[in-house]
Structure 1
Amino acid sequence: MADDEFAKAVEDGLKLAKRIYAGKDRHFAPPRPVGGMERSPVSLLPAAPMVYAVVDDPGIVDNPDIPSYQPHVYGRCDPPALIPLQMNEIALEADCFLDTAFVAIRGRWRVHCIMRNRSCDCRLVVPMGEQGSILGVEVEVGRKSYSTRVMDEEENQNMEKPARNEGGGFLKPQLFSLTIPEVSGGSDISLTVRWSQKLFYKDGQFSITVPFSFPEFVTPFAKIFAKTEKIQLNVNSGFGKEVLLQTTSHGLKERSRQAGILTFLYEAAVEQWSHREFYFSYSVYSNDLFGGILLQSPTMYDLDQRDTFCLYLFPGNIQNRKVFRREVVFIVDISGSMEGKPLENVKNALSTALLELTAVDKFNIIAFNEELHSFSSCMEPVTEVKVENAHEWICKTVVAGGGTNIMHPLNEAIDLLSYAQDSAPHIFLITDGSVEDERDICSTMRTHVAKRGSMSPRISTFGVGSYCNHYFLRMLSSISKGQYDAAYDPDLIESRMQRWFMRASSPIVMNITVDIFKHLDEVEVYPSHIPDLSVGCPLIVSGRYQGKFPDSLKAKGILADMSEIVIDLEVKNTKDIPLEKVFAKQHIDLLTAEAWFSESKQLKEKAIKISMRSSVPSEYTYMILLQTDTEKQDAVKQVKKHGSQKDAGPKNCLRIRVHGLAIGFGNVNATLENLPTGFGEPKLPETNYVYEKAVRCCDNYCCCMYIIKACSKLNDRLVIVMTQCCAALSFLGCYECCCAACCESSN
C-alpha cells in the first residue's frame, strides 16, 4: 500500500536523522511511538504541508552548522529515504466564497540534515481538503526561485529546454507532491502553496477542514525559538444572509463583520506547532427556501468578455420539508475487477442506502457483469421483510466475476421505472470500468430523457478508481439532472457513496426553470440542465451571458405534492466574489465531458483557455515547475535597462513536469482484462529500504549486508570507540611486523 511505503520512507529518514549532532545546548525531540507500537505507518503520513530531504546517500547526512564525526556508511538508500525538515514559520489563509474555499499556506523550512557543502532534492507534500485542486506553488531557495505554471501542449513544445520527467504529482488522492531539485545543506526553503477545495454542507452548516497538524520532529533544535502561528479566515457567503459562527478548532478572533462577510484572525506565539487540523463551521440563517443571482462584469484581462452570472438556491433550515416519494434502482458493477475491498465497501454503502428509504418508496437492485442479476422482476415496496431479503440477496449474489456491460442494465432500469407516477425516479449506477460504447450509452439515455420529459429518471453515477471514464459518468449524470461523484481511494468509497446517495435521492424541488434565460441575447449554463434542489445541498449553477438582467426574477419548480413553487430571486452585482475563479474547475470539468462526448475541438480549446487562465490543471494542459535564477533575472534587468538585447530573458530555465494531475478518459483494456480496480499508481515516494543494496562480497547470509544492518543499530559513540580500537590494533600489528622485519635484517 502507498501509505505503508510512504511511512517506511519517513521512518528510514528519521533513523538517518539520528546521525545529526544537535549540540550541547540544543534540543531534539525524536518521534514518539503511537499507542505503544514500535511503528505506526499512518502516524507518519503528513497531516499538514511538509517538506522532506530526499536522501539516497546516507553519508551526506549531518548538521550543516555543527559538523560532527560521522562513521562511514556503506551502500545507498535505494530508493531514497525521506527526512522531515524542520519548520521555522507557518501561516494559513483561507478565503471562502459560496461553496468553495481557496487556501494558501506559507511556510519556511530549513535543510538541517545535510552537510553544508552537499545538496539533495527536497520534496513538498501537501494533503489537500475535500475535492481539492492544486492551484500553484512558489518556492524561494537562496538565489533561486521556482513557480508552477499551467500550459498547453503547443506552448510546452515551443519552449527551448525540455522538462525533466520527475517532478511530483499526486501520490494518492488529495496528497500532492512536488520536487525541488538540488537544495544545499543549511538552506532555507520559503514556500507558498495554493489550492481550492469544496466546503462541506450538512444540516444547514458550511464547514471547512484544512490539514494543519504538525509532528513534533519538525520543531527546530533550539530550545529558545520564537514560533508564531497565523491563521486568517475570510468568509463571503454571497447569499446576503446573516452568517453565524458555529465551531472552530483554533482561537479565531472576529476582526470585521458585514452582511454575509466576516473576517477572522488567529495569531499566537506557541511552544509547539499546531497538533490539530484547522476546522471552522458557520451557518447561513434562513427559515425557508431562498435564492438569488450574482452578476459580474469581465476584467480587462479576461479573454471571454461576456458577463458572468451565478444562480443559487438554498434549501433553508426547515428540517421537515417534504421529500419526493422515490422509486430507486441500484445498478452495481460486479465484474472481476471489483473483487475485494472495493466491492465490499460498495455493498456496505448499498445496505446503508436501503435503510435510508421510507415506507412510501420502492426499490430494486441490478448487479451486472456480462449478464444481469436482478433482485426482483419489478419495483418492490420498502418493507422490513423486503429490505431484509435484499440484504441476503446482496450477500449471496453480489460477487465479483466476469466482464462489464453497462448499456444492458441501464435499459433494464429505464424499463422498470417506465410506469413511475407522482414520484421521483432514480437510477444509481456504480462502476469501476470503461466500455467502448459509452457515447452510444449517452445518446440512448438522452433519447429516453427527452421521451419521458420533466419526470424522467435521474441517473446518478459513481466512479470507483481510475480505470473508469469519469467524464462519461459526469456526462451521463448531467444529461439526466443526476449527481456525479467518485472515490479514488478504496477507504473513501463507503463514506462518499453514502453522501452521494443522500444528496441525489432527497430532492425537495424538481424541474427548476428560470424564465430570464430565454430572454437574454446569449447564455451559457454549467451544467446545461439545472439539477434538482436537494434537502442536504444548496444548488449553484453558473455561466456566461450577453444581455441585461432585470432587478428581480422568479424560479419555478415542482414540490413533492406536485404543486408549483415560485421562488423570488434577487439580482445584484458583486465585485467581492471572484466568480470566474470560483467556478473555473466546474466549467473545465463539464466542458471536458462535453468535448469528450461531442468530440469537439472548439470545446477542448475553450477548456484549455480556462485552465491556463485560472491555473487549474485539466486533461488538456500541463503543470510545469519553472526555475528562475535570481542572479540571471538581475542580469536580464540590467541588459534590458541598457537595451543591448531584445530577447534577453530566462528562456532556458529548468522546467520540471508535474505528473498525475489528469485522470484520463478511462482504460478500456484494463476493464477487458479485469485488472483490479485502479486507484492510481503512485510513483513518489518510492519504497524505501535503507542499505538494502549495500555492497556484498559474497552470497553468504552471514556476510556484508547483514553485518552492516547489525552495525547500523549500534550507538554512534560505541561505533567511534570500536573504530578507534580497531585502528589501535592495526597500528600494533604494523609495529609488530616492522619489529620482526628489523630483527631479520640485523641477523
Structure 2
Amino acid sequence: MEAEFSTSVEYGLKVSKRIYYGKESASSSAPAVIPTMTRSSEAEGYLPTAPTVYAVIPEPAVVDNPDVPSYQPYVHGLCEPPALIPLHMHGLAMEIESYLDTAFVVVSGTWRVHCVMAGRRCDCRIAVPMGEQGSLLGVEVDVSGRSYRTQLITMEDTIDMEKVVKAEGRFLKCQIYTLKVPQVDGGSTLSIQISWSQKLSYHDGKFCLNVPFSFPAYVNPIGKKISKREKIFLKVNSGTGREIIYKSTSHPLKELTRQAGKGSFLYEAEVPAWSNADFTFSYTVNSVDFFGGVLLQSPFLRDFDQREMFCFYVFPGNIQSRKVFRKEVVFLIDISGSMRGDPLENAKIALVVSLSKLNPEDTFNIIAFNGEVLLFSPSMKLATKEAISDATEWVGANFIANGSTNILLPLNQAMKLLAKATDSIPLIFLITDGSVEDEKEICNIMKGYLGSGESICPRICTFGIGSYCNHYFLQMIAHIGRGHYHAAYDADTIDFQIQRLFASASSIILADIKMDTLEHLDSLELFPTHIPDLSSGSPLIVSGRYDGNFPDSVKISGTLADMSNFTIDFEVQRAKDVPLDRQVLARRHIDILTASAWLLGTKELEVKVAKMSIQTGVPCEYTRMILAQTNKGEKAPEPILIQQVYNKLKLEERKLELEGQKIIFLGKLGLGFGNLTATAKNIPVGAEVAKPSDPADLLLKAASNCCSGLLDRCCCMCFIQTCSYLNNQCAIVFTQLCTALACFECLNCCYELCSCL
C-alpha cells in the first residue's frame, strides 16, 4: 500500500509539470527536482512526513493552473490508480499541549488546489502522519461553503453502512492515516485543522517529544509575493510541580511563561520555505532520586461514569548509579513461516544486541518456536562472553522461518526454566507476528502460574510484529505478567523497538510496588490491574476510578534491587490544570478495557469502551469514524445528535445520505483482534494479495503513465488515439505485447516505444 501511494505521488509530480505559473515562476522557489526512486526507496520515497493534502487525479487532462490556463494539448487516457499531486500550502500553525507522558497536537493549515483547471473538480486526500503511538482525534475541513467534521459513532450503527459503501479512510502505515474530501473545485482553498495525541518517549532521564513536521519542497507555493508564516505554540505541564529543565529543541522557541512544573513557548517566523525538520523538544524534571505524586480529579458533568479519578505516577529520577535487579531472561522468538525475510532478520539483530547488554551475573536462554520449540540450552546460562558468542552462533544457524505458530508451548517451557527464581527478576520476552486460536486459554493459564505464589512471578513482556497478531492478546498477557507491551508495524522499525523494549523492561530498580490507600477505598477500578515495576528506562503511571475518601498523602512501598524494603510518602493534590477526565488517561483506559472485553467476551464492557471512546474522542475497536458535512450557514451536528440520527435511519435512507456526500464513512482506526487465517497461511507481514491485471487496463495505465512522464510528446497521444480505432484483433496484439514487456519489467521500454510511434 505504501509503494502504491508513493508511486501515485511520483506520477502526480510528473503530471504537475504541465502547470504554467506565469513569468514570475522562473525566479521563485519552484518545487525541487523529482528524484528517481530505486526499488529500496520506492515504498518510502514520497510518503508524507507532515500533514499533507493531495489532489486525486484520475484524468491528467484536468491538470492546469486555474488562474493562468496554459491550453496544452489534450491528454487522453486515465491514471489507474489515480495520480496524487501534493497541494501547495499557504498557511501553517501548530499547537501542542503536553501533560505527563502524553502530547496533544493540533495542526492548522490552508492548502490551495493549484493544479486543477477552473470549472473542474477533484477529490482531495488528506494524509496525517502521527508521532509515537499516535491516535487521530479529529479533522475539520472548510472549503467552498462546505464544512466537514469527524465524529465517532458506535460499531452497531455502521454495520449496514459497510454493506453499501466502501470506507474512505485507511492507514498507509500504522502512524499515517489518510481520508478523502470529495469534489473540490479547482482554485479552491481548503482550511484544515487536524488533531491527534501521541506519546513522549523517555530515555536517559529525559522526556522527548517528536512531531512529524518536515514538509517537502514541492508543497511550497510558487511566487515571490506569497507569504509563508509558520507558528508553533508549545505548552508543557509535567504534572509534578517540580522544576523543569529544558534540554533541546529543533525550532527556535521563545519562552513565554515559566512556573513550577510547567511552561509555555512560542515560535513564529516568516520563512522562505516551510519547515523541513520534525519538531522535537526534550526536558527533564529536576530530581536525583525517586519522586512522584497522586493527582485527583472529579468527573465532568456529563460523564457517564461519575466516580472520582486518580493518577499515580513515579519517575525514576536522574540518578545513574541506582542498582538494577539481577535478571533471568528467556527470549521467545517466533520463527514461523510468516517471519521470513526482514522481520526475522531484524528480530535476530535486536536479540543479539540485547544479549550483549546483559550483565555477567545475569542468566539467559533462548527458545525459537513455530509449531514446535527449539531451546538454546536445557537450562539457564550465565551471560558470559563465551555463552553470548555461542548463543549468537546458535541463532544464526537455527533461526530459519518455517512452519506454523504455537505460543502456549514456548510459554510453558519458559515458565519451567524460571520456576526457581529467588533473588532476581525473571523476565520473559515474547516476540511474535501471529495470532493463534487458544489465546484466551493462554491468558487463563498464565493467570494460574502467576497467582500460585510459589516463587517470584516472572514478568512477561510482549512484542507484536505487523497487523496479523492479536495486539490485545499481547497487551493482556503483559498486564497479567506485570510487564511491558510494544509493537512494530513496519519491518524496518523492529530492531529499534525491540531494543528499546528490552532496555526499559530489563532495568528494574523498584519491584512489587504497593499503594496502601487502595485497600481502604469503597470501590476501585485500576489501570492496569496489577501495578508494574519501576525501571530506570521509563516512568510508571497507574490510574483509575474510585468511590470513597482519598487521604492527603499515600504511602508507596516496594522492593529494591538489594532485596531491601523501600517506602516513600507521596502528596495527593487536585489536578486543576491537567485534563485527566478527557484524554490524558483515555487511551490507556480504552486499550486495557478493550483487552479485557476481548478476554471476557462481555457485551457490557464493549458498550462501556464505546461510550468512553465517543465521550473522549479517542477511537477504539467498538466505534467508527465518519466525516459529517454541513453547508454554509448550517450548524454542525453534535456527536450525540449524529448518534440519534443513525439510530433512526433505515438502510436505504443511509445509502441515499451517503451517496449525497452528506456523511462519509471513514471506517475503524483500531488494530483489530488478529488474523488467524493470515497466520495459518504464513502470510508475511505487510504482504498484500496482488490482483491480476486485465491486459487492457495495463495498456491504459502504461499509456497514461507515459503521458505523465512525456507530456509534451504529441506522438504518444496520437498513439492512444490510434489505439481507439484499432480492430479487436490488433488491440489484443498490443495489449499482449505490453503485458509481456511488463512481465519482464520492461515497462519503461514500452513507454519509450509508445512515444516513438
Aligned-partner Cα distance in 2 for 1:690–1:83? 19
Q: Deviations over 1:421-440 (max 9, x none)?
A: 10000111111111111111
Q: Deviations over 1:94-124 (max 9, x none)?
A: 1000000000000000001101100000011
Q: What's 1:351 paired with?
A: 352
Aligned-partner Cα distance in 1 for 2:296–2:325? 32
Letter in 1 for 2:552: D
Measure how far apart 1:626 and its partner are: 1.0
Q: Deviations over 1:601-660 (max 9, x none)?
A: 11111111111111111111101111112255599xxxxxxxxxxx9xx99462222235
Q: What's 1:669 paired with?
A: 677
Pairing 1:691–2:704 present: yes
Q: What's 2:480 paired with?
A: 479
Measure how far apart 1:355 and its partner are: 0.5
> Any conservation in 1 of the 2:593–2:605 contact (CA below 8 Å)?
yes
Give the number of the structure whose alpha-carbon radius of gyration is greater.
Answer: 1
Aligned pairs for 1:501-580 (under 5 A) are: 501-580=502-581
> Any conservation in 2 of the 1:28–1:217 contact (CA below 8 Å)?
no
Measure how far apart 1:324 and its partner are: 0.3
- Structure 1: 5+ residue stretches without partners: 636-646, 715-747
Letter in 1 for 2:333: V
Q: What's 1:13 paired with?
A: 12
Among all aligned residue pairs of Structure 1 and Structure 2, give the percentage whose two residues are the same amino acid: 51
Q: What's 1:172 paired with?
A: 173
Aligned-partner Cα distance in 2 for 1:522–1:497? 37
Aligned-partner Cα distance in 1 for 2:295–2:585? 13
Q: What's 1:91 paired with?
A: 93
Letter in 2 for 1:346: A
Of 73, 76, 79 in structure 2, the residue corresponding to residue 74 of structure 1 is 76
Measure how far apart 1:221 and its partner are: 2.0
Letter in 2 for 1:691: S
TM-score normalised over the length of structure 1: 0.89
Aligned-partner Cα distance in 2 for 1:353–1:440? 30
- The verdict on how the C-alpha distance between 1:560 and 1:707 changes in structure 2, with shifts beyond 3 A counting, is closer
- The verdict on how the C-alpha distance between 1:40 and 1:442 changes in structure 2, with shifts beyond 3 A counting, is closer
Q: What's 2:133 paired with?
A: 131
Aligned pairs for 1:448-487 (under 5 A) are: 448-452=449-453, 455-487=456-488
Measure how far apart 1:664 and its partner are: 1.3
- The verdict on how the C-alpha distance between 1:713 and 1:318 changes in structure 2, with shifts beyond 3 A counting, is farther
> Any conservation in 2 of the 1:298–1:306 contact (CA below 8 Å)?
yes
Q: Deviations over 1:566-606 (max 9, x none)?
A: 02111000121111311111111100110111111111111
Q: Deviations over 1:122-152 (max 9, x none)?
A: 0111111011000010000011010111110
Q: What's 2:713 paired with?
A: none
Aligned-partner Cα distance in 1 for 2:233–2:394? 52
> Any conservation in 2 of the 1:116–1:184 contact (CA below 8 Å)?
yes
Q: What's 1:723 paired with?
A: none
- 2:184 counterpart SS class: strand
- The verdict on how the C-alpha distance between 1:64 and 1:676 changes in structure 2, with shifts beyond 3 A counting, is same
Aligned-partner Cα distance in 2 for 1:708–1:629? 47
Q: Deviations over 1:501-521 (max 9, x none)?
A: 111111100000001001111
Q: What's 2:492 paired with?
A: 491
* Bigger Cα displacement from structure 2, 108-117 vs 34-43: 34-43
Letter in 1 for 2:579: P
Measure how far apart 1:176 and its partner are: 1.0
> Any conservation in 1 of the 2:628–2:664 contact (CA below 8 Å)?
yes
Q: Deviations over 1:508-545 (max 9, x none)?
A: 00000001001111111100000000011000011111
Aligned-partner Cα distance in 2 for 1:634–1:321? 55
Aligned-partner Cα distance in 2 for 1:176–1:546? 39
Letter in 2 for 1:11: E
Q: What's 2:150 paired with?
A: 148
- The verdict on how the C-alpha distance between 1:62 and 1:678 changes in structure 2, with shifts beyond 3 A counting, is closer
Of 628, 651, 659 in structure 1, the residue corresponding to residue 667 of structure 2 is 659
Pairing 1:25–2:27 present: no
Measure how far apart 1:5 and its partner are: 2.5
Q: What's 1:333 paired with?
A: 334
Aligned-partner Cα distance in 1 for 2:379–2:160? 60
Aligned-partner Cα distance in 1 for 2:545–2:230? 40
> Any conservation in 2 of the 1:237–1:260 contact (CA below 8 Å)?
yes
- The verdict on how the C-alpha distance between 1:153 and 1:237 changes in structure 2, with shifts beyond 3 A counting, is same
- 1:497 counterpart SS class: helix
TM-score normalised over the length of structure 2: 0.88
* RMSD between aligned residues: 2.9
Letter in 2 for 1:526: F
> Any conservation in 2 of the 1:466–1:679 contact (CA below 8 Å)?
no
- The verdict on how the C-alpha distance between 1:199 and 1:138 changes in structure 2, with shifts beyond 3 A counting, is same
Aligned-partner Cα distance in 1 for 2:392–2:313? 39
> Any conservation in 1 of the 2:421–2:455 contact (CA below 8 Å)?
no
Q: What's 2:274 paired with?
A: 273
- Structure 2: 5+ residue stretches without partners: 638-648, 692-696, 707-719, 740-746
- The verdict on how the C-alpha distance between 1:707 and 1:466 changes in structure 2, with shifts beyond 3 A counting, is closer
Q: Deviations over 1:195-242 (max 9, x none)?
A: 000001111111111111112221212211221100000000001111
